[in-house]
Structure 1
């Protein structure tokens, strides 16, 4: 038996309604199922996310709000959902992000954070960028259980195998999938020549995964599906690449690398990160990290390019994943000769 919640596409398990009823009861709410409202929150490309509200009492003068995340099709290719939920809970106990309220087979219910999700242009705001850098340092300092080795390289190799198994011959040829394994090997060898600071990274710091409380100017990172141990420089690279994106346009798959942070903006971010613990970095430390970040941007293009190819074949979220993949791979081939100095 299934139940439809007004505002959510399709039908969801009756278990979801039971979970909401149980939560409302625990909170002492007077729960009227006819008063539930759901609003789709755009910008997510792995899951479908809704804000759900209901009146706490009959007078309807106070409203309860939660976030419901419906897992996207094919997402289990990219990460272990149970592991992701464990990570979610552990990060919450460290004081980061929302609390997990309940889970059901097709998704979960999370605490709704009453803060503003950033927009694409917010990333360019010097004050906000500085706050993001400091929060990134906090996140990187988390001591999470499990292996402390970088997962970037084995993940890309696994995704390459999956992309090859799904791809049409046309796409396999277009994306040069026959030589991408060699590109991954080359990158790993080149980027591993320098000692890397491997930390717990978010790995998906696009603007939609960053929230700010306008009153307290507190930054919160959300959505940890891809969080894992990686070189810190890779997390910087991922964030800087996201400056080129705006997922709230008529063409969300299009990237504008003219918006990639310039040297001054990268220096400000890196200095803010390194100095957030009270120690002032040397110019040499800043320059070294910036150089590492630029080289890890190459790995980031391959990572999300492979992700997009797979998503284009398994996901039904309205987004042109294949066009997105084309742009990430194009940027890789454009920048590789300069950054690896072949």
Structure 2
């Protein structure tokens, strides 16, 4: 059942396109008006947008700051100075990574953003250009890797995720887990060198997907609208109101809810704001009690209530098994991205770690 959503307090924005979309704010690197990074089509929309705000002093005088942590797109904060004593105007510019459309359906993504906004879940889409978009800037903070271990914040995330899963979002079934894994495997095999084919045993992975599907699919499995990429950088929080907002829906689709929770747990091994953002530390994977607290909060059970332990344990068991599918999912993403994306990230090494975890955890299927 969908709980009442918490609408974002939108600033007064002039929308170029009556759509909605999500934003992100992360650690920044200042490029001091490095406008050559912005496509001309985007510059035109940005200037048109700023010219509708009477307090902006010069619509052409934009400060461009790249936001770190994005691994699919390049993301920039665009700021204009305003008249004295008025807050600056900000928007978020997202430039799509090269070739990433093979990973998800961009039409489904935009449709999801529209619907999420109608549910009070996301900010406005201010403009679209051929290889990117302009979004409203949310005045909330993006969580850190450390925040995911905070019990209070974790409980808020769990409750928001349950709400997210209950949303009715129209989209195709192309992003369903098993279809996506098989499609991504075909793309990876078409892109990889023979050396990579041999190293990663890509010829064997279709059989592994079949094994996972046979073992993990069951009748009456709870399916919901899943984010599929619930890392800390895709979660924002207003510290004053404690409202959580889940953002960035590129990989979102209908899937087993256990898969989405498994993905969130696996992401606790990552910190994308270190000197080596591709390195994963599985010593940070949540312990049994931490996972149990999250699942109890997700299901809406209090810590004192033991009458629902069987339901909690069953979901925990399913989640652990779905980590296998999650490792294959992001392994294939890494291999494909290594061949297509020019963002500074060690995709292949990231993929290598995820595949290693798959083989290491495969005995879970016997449990």
* TM-score bracket relative to the smaller structure: over 0.9
**Conserved 8 A contact 1:148-1:198:** no
Instruction: Classify the secondary structure of the residue corresponding to 1:145.
Output: coil
**Following superposition of structure 1 onto structure 2, how do residues 84-233 of structure 1 map, counting pairs within 5 Å?**
84-146=109-171, 151-193=176-218, 195-233=220-258
Q: In structure 1, how many angstroms separate the alpha carbons of the residues matched to 2:301 and 2:113?
A: 24
Task: After superposing the two structures, state which structure 1 stretch, 204-213 or 10-19, moved more.
Answer: 10-19
Q: Match for residue 270 of structure 1? A: 295
Q: Match for residue 260 of structure 2? A: 235
Deviation at 1:27, TM superposition (A): 3.4
Q: In structure 1, how many angstroms separate the alpha carbons of the residues matched to 2:319 and 2:202?
A: 25
**Conserved 8 A contact 1:149-1:230:** no
Q: Match for residue 312 of structure 1? A: 338
Greater RCO (CA < 8 Å, at least 6 residues apart): 2
Q: Match for residue 249 of structure 1? A: 274
Q: Match for residue 298 of structure 1? A: 324
Q: Match for residue 19 of structure 2? A: none
Cα distance change, pair 28–86 in 1 and its aligned pair in 2 (3 A): farther
Deviation at 1:36, TM superposition (A): 1.1
Task: After superposing the two structures, state which structure 1 stretch, 231-240 or 27-36, moved more.
Answer: 27-36
Q: In structure 1, how many angstroms separate the alpha carbons of the residues matched to 2:50 and 2:249?
A: 26
In structure 1, runs of 5+ residues without a counterpart are none
**Following superposition of structure 1 onto structure 2, how do residues 35-50 of structure 1 map, counting pairs within 5 Å?**
35-50=61-76
In structure 2, runs of 5+ residues without a counterpart are 1-30
Deviation digits for residues 122-154 of structure 1 (CA, Å, limit 9, x no counterpart): 100101100000110110110112457971000
**TM-score (normalizing by structure 1):** 0.93
Q: Which has the higher helix share?
A: 1
Deviation digits for residues 185-237 of structure 1 (CA, Å, limit 9, x no counterpart): 00001001353101000110000000111111111111100011000000000
Q: Match for residue 289 of structure 1? A: 315
**Conserved 8 A contact 1:238-1:300:** yes
Matched residue count? 334
Q: In structure 1, how many angstroms separate the alpha carbons of the residues matched to 2:41 and 2:175?
A: 37
Deviation at 1:60, TM superposition (A): 6.9
Q: In structure 2, how many angstroms separate the alpha carbons of the residues matched to 1:305 and 1:179?
A: 14
Q: In structure 2, how many angstroms separate the alpha carbons of the residues matched to 1:237 and 1:173?
A: 28
**TM-score (normalizing by structure 2):** 0.87
Deviation at 1:9, TM superposition (A): 6.8
Q: Match for residue 81 of structure 1? A: 106
Q: In structure 1, how many angstroms separate the alpha carbons of the residues matched to 2:62 and 2:52?
A: 17
Deviation digits for residues 2-22 of structure 1 (CA, Å, limit 9, x no counterpart): xxx954474433322221222
Q: Match for residue 333 of structure 1? A: 359
Cα distance change, pair 150–87 in 1 and its aligned pair in 2 (3 A): closer
Q: Match for residue 63 of structure 1? A: 88
Instruction: Classify the secondary structure of the residue corresponding to 1:200.
Output: strand
Superposition RMSD on alpha carbons, in Å? 1.9
